[in-house]
Amino acid sequence: MAVTRLLDQQALAGATKLPEAFARWFGERGWAPRAHQLDLLARAQGGASVLLIAPTGAGKTLAGFLPSLTDLAERPKRKPGELHRGVHTLYISPLKALAVDIHRNLGRPVEEMKLDIAIETRTGDTPAHKRQRQKTAPPDILLTTPEQLALLIASGDADRLFAGLKYVVLDELHSLVTSKRGHLLSLGLARLRRFVPGLKTIGLSATVAEPDELRRWLVPQNPPGLMAELITVQGGAKPVITILDSQERVPWAGHSARYAIGEIYEAIKDHRTTLLFVNTRSQAEFLFQELWRVNEDTLPIALHHGSLDVTQRRRVENAMEANALRAVVATSTLDLGIDWGDVDLVIHVGAPKGASRLAQRIGRSNHRMDEPSRAILVPANRFEVLECRAAIEANYLGAQDTPPLLEGALDVLAQHVMGMACAAPFDEAVLLQEVRTAAPYAHLDEDTFARVVDFVATGGYALKSYERYARIRKTKEGLWRVSHPRYAQQYRLNVGTIVESPTLNVRMTRQRSRGGNAAGGPALGKIEEYFLETLTPGDTFLFAGKILRFEGIRENECYVSNAPGQDAKVPVYAGGKFPLSTYLAAEVRAMLADPERWNRLPEQVAEWLSIQKDKSMLPRAGDLLVETFPRGNRHYMVAYAFEGRLAHQTLGMLLTRRLERAGAHPLGFVATDYALAIWAHDDMGTMFKGGRLPLSDLFDEDMLGDDLDAWLAESWLLKRTFRACATISGLIEKRHPGQEKTGRQMTVSADLIYDVLRTHDPDHILLRATRADAAAGLLDVSRLADMLSRIRGRIVHKQLERISPLAVPVMLEIGKERVKGEADEMLLSEAEDDLVHEAMGY
């Protein structure tokens, strides 16, 4: 939050409203609070909850804490022997690291003003004895996470702990509200409001598309529609964003951006400190490795991602704060508002996928409002060039494409209901009322809530055979109470909404240490089990910035040794975590359709588009272009829908089913963010043209009915979603370190439970929650539906003799999901050249 950078001459006049100590503190430094900081203070003092929307570097965090700090400063001292007063202000952030960072930054002014205010953090890393002490002697300001709040309110003495609560400060609210953690937090807030009806909330957020959604989120929805007050701070200087103007050939496909390494390295050399953002962990590892390959000046370049061991991450963060690094390669772990030293350049490698996300990341450089941020976008392939261009224009236009908020998830609600029973016996109707004051659950109906409570009690099955095993039971007075203390213990161990795929610790050892003592080396971090499963001892891979040799798995740890100088397999690039936003997709389509805009594109990309225009065509902005062509002994169809990989994957599954029924004998498909390619035995082009299978029928919206249901039921996507829902709702337990040893044959896997439940109780509440999740998250069904209705009557079919230039990128993805070593790399590169020659007619 950079208290040391609050200089704002124009707002000096307002300083009078502050208590003496604060005014003096600002004055001594020749500073003044900003207008929005005072505005927020005044409104909060007047009893309002407030949403503050401001760009990075606007002094947002100090604004959020001013009401608390001034209130606490003027409070009479606690007399010796007087009872502890409980928590005054609760600060909640999505990241542990953020809580730690705020602690550091808030501590400074408090100390300098000699304020008697106790500030402490409480996260999963806080030792048990400290957590215990925090309950008996709580700090004035407690900095914590949604999970810790859930645990605190699930204990019997929560009402006492929070009786004196005045403020809840919610940082990075725009990021919290879009996830299940946000749902959990909203329910926690609802409970806090029951303890303290006049509780004031202060939400801090980056710019969002729909501020009103966040305003509702901050206040009880009683009646529905109530909103917090809003203060908006306009953005400071416009960022200066450019696309890397590469002298190298921009590749047709792929995500590595290897072509640009030299130019990226030059940019790092030209700046003080550079933050390099990538979309996935494997990209981060790859980029880091490649940069060190060319790092002739041995610049201090570091790596930071969420799978690394925590001590490694802290080391990088501290070096960053001390300005000891020239560059950090990072994934989204550094996305949020953490203030890391003097960054003067952000390089984004790969497409940003959303304009709001890009704005956030770029905000990391020049962390002050009045100087422009500098950023360079490095597209990894040609479609990404278009996407980067669209994102730049959006950023200049201030376009926002944050995802819409979802209805409160039922698995989260089940977890909360159990937590509330752990706190104290509850009345169902009263709890429902409380839950409905949380914005995501404002429209929860009574019947659904009853089913969730039934689920918590006995599993909620149509076959009522578990009455005697109920985890919560109704007392004579009609209150639900926990039937055994061990269920409360179970709840505490499983709280939270983050369900990670199973991971193993990665530990260093000596190479080929046979039999005996393999342990003892340092831990490097955690890596997903599904990736390790594909390795054979002797295989090499990139992790923690090193080339490692896989030695084997023992006792649930993965042992590796150093393998410098060897070529490494790269962990599978599973595609971007984030789908292309609807807004950017529309922009890319518009750009394709408008040759006038091509002159802002690099020459080689503009050339690619104009040859496409010659050889095939470019669709108009609202049209869907479908190309068909033969290649080898197969027939291909490529649809350029630009709706993101998830929606394309769903579309691919559904179209393949239909083509199968129509007798086209489809063989497979591949989806990218931009296009979908399906290949088949039979000539689909002729089927479309000849009327045997009109395209309008193939793309008819009714595919979202029975076909979708039938496919969904079988889909592994749904199984994966079910696992998360089952864990969050408490049906199955999280895996805890040390428990894995019980062996696979003893645990009941979520997949098996899913199969049984789907066959025997298809209307179960948990399956309902699973379907809702999958439709929104993994399948992008609503987006697909919008697309199908948009393109009705606007499908343009082009039957070609051979592959078109636009089709090359998606065709190169076929069979490319796995990297298998050097020979395969060579074959791929040969194949790539063939396709290019064919398409461009060189």
Partner 1 sequence: MNVAADMRSFTTRAGEIAIADEVALCDPRGALFFPDSRVLVVSDLHLEKGSAYARRGQLLPPYDTGATLDLLAAVIAEHRPATIISLGDSFHDGWGAERMPQSYRERLLALMTGREWIWVAGNHDPDAPVGLPGMVAGEIALGRLRFRHEPLTGAEPGEIAGHLHPGAVIVQRGRAVRRRCFATDGERLVMPAFGAYTGTLNVLDRAYRGLFRWETFFAHMLGADRVYAMAHRRLRGG
Summarize as ranges the residues that interact with partner 1 (CB under 8 A).
458-459, 461, 463, 465-466, 469, 471, 484, 486-487, 490, 529-530, 532-534, 536, 553, 572, 649, 652-653, 656, 667-671, 731-733, 743-749, 752-753, 755-757, 759-761, 764, 814-815, 817-820
823 token code pair: 């020979």
Select 176 or 558, whichever has its Cβ closest to partner 1: 558
**Number of neighbouring beta carbons within 10 Å of residue 786:** 14
Q: What is the C-alpha radius of gyration for the chain, rounded to an integer number of angstroms?
A: 28
Select 25 or 550, whichever has its Cβ closest to partner 1: 550
Select 318 or 534, whichever has its Cβ closest to partner 1: 534
Residue 771 CB, nearest approach to partner 1 (Å): 16
Cβ–Cβ under 8 Å, residues 94 and 144: no
What is 696-719 written as a DSSP string?
Answer: HHHT-GGGGTHHHHHHHHH-HHHH
Residue 780 CB, nearest approach to partner 1 (Å): 14
> SS3 for 561?
strand
Cβ–Cβ under 8 Å, residues 318 and 104: no
**DSSP 3-state helix, strand, coil percentages of the chain (rounded to 5)?**
45, 15, 40
Residue 406 CB, nearest approach to partner 1 (Å): 25
Cβ–Cβ under 8 Å, residues 783 and 403: no
Cβ–Cβ under 8 Å, residues 139 and 172: no
Residue 769 CB, nearest approach to partner 1 (Å): 14
Select 321 or 761, whichever has its Cβ closest to partner 1: 761
Residues 682, 158: Cα–Cα separation, whole Å? 67
One-letter amino acid at 72 equals L
Cβ–Cβ under 8 Å, residues 779 and 650: yes
Residue 761 CB, nearest approach to partner 1 (Å): 6
Select 478 or 668, whichever has its Cβ closest to partner 1: 668
Phi, psi of 134 (to 5 degrees): -60, -25
Select 247 or 759, whichever has its Cβ closest to partner 1: 759
- Tell which residue, 602, 670, 653, has the closest CA to residue 780: 653
Select 39 or 285, whichever has its Cβ closest to partner 1: 285
Select 396 or 466, whichever has its Cβ closest to partner 1: 466
Residue 498 CB, nearest approach to partner 1 (Å): 20
Residue 647 CB, nearest approach to partner 1 (Å): 13
Residue 757 CB, nearest approach to partner 1 (Å): 5
Helix/strand/coil (H/E/C) assignment for every residue in 397-459: HCCCCCCCCCCCCHHHHHHHHHHHHHHCCECHHHHHHHHHCCHHHCCCCHHHHHHHHHHHHHC
Helix (H) or strand (E) holding 474: strand 472-474
Residues 834, 837: Cα–Cα separation, whole Å? 5
First CA to last CA distance, the chain: 55
- Tell which residue, 639, 600, 604, 630, has the closest CA to residue 797: 639
Residue 487 CB, nearest approach to partner 1 (Å): 5
Select 2 or 778, whichever has its Cβ closest to partner 1: 778
Select 436 or 645, whichever has its Cβ closest to partner 1: 645
Cβ–Cβ under 8 Å, residues 638 and 812: no
Residue 426 CB, nearest approach to partner 1 (Å): 19
Residue 422 CB, nearest approach to partner 1 (Å): 13
Select 124 or 815, whichever has its Cβ closest to partner 1: 815
Residue 554 CB, nearest approach to partner 1 (Å): 10
Residues 375, 358: Cα–Cα separation, whole Å? 10
190 token code pair: 């609802």
Select 198 or 516, whichever has its Cβ closest to partner 1: 516
Residue 645 CB, nearest approach to partner 1 (Å): 8
Select 195 or 461, whichever has its Cβ closest to partner 1: 461
CA angle 324, 328, 331 (to 5 degrees): 145
Residues 437, 480: Cα–Cα separation, whole Å? 20
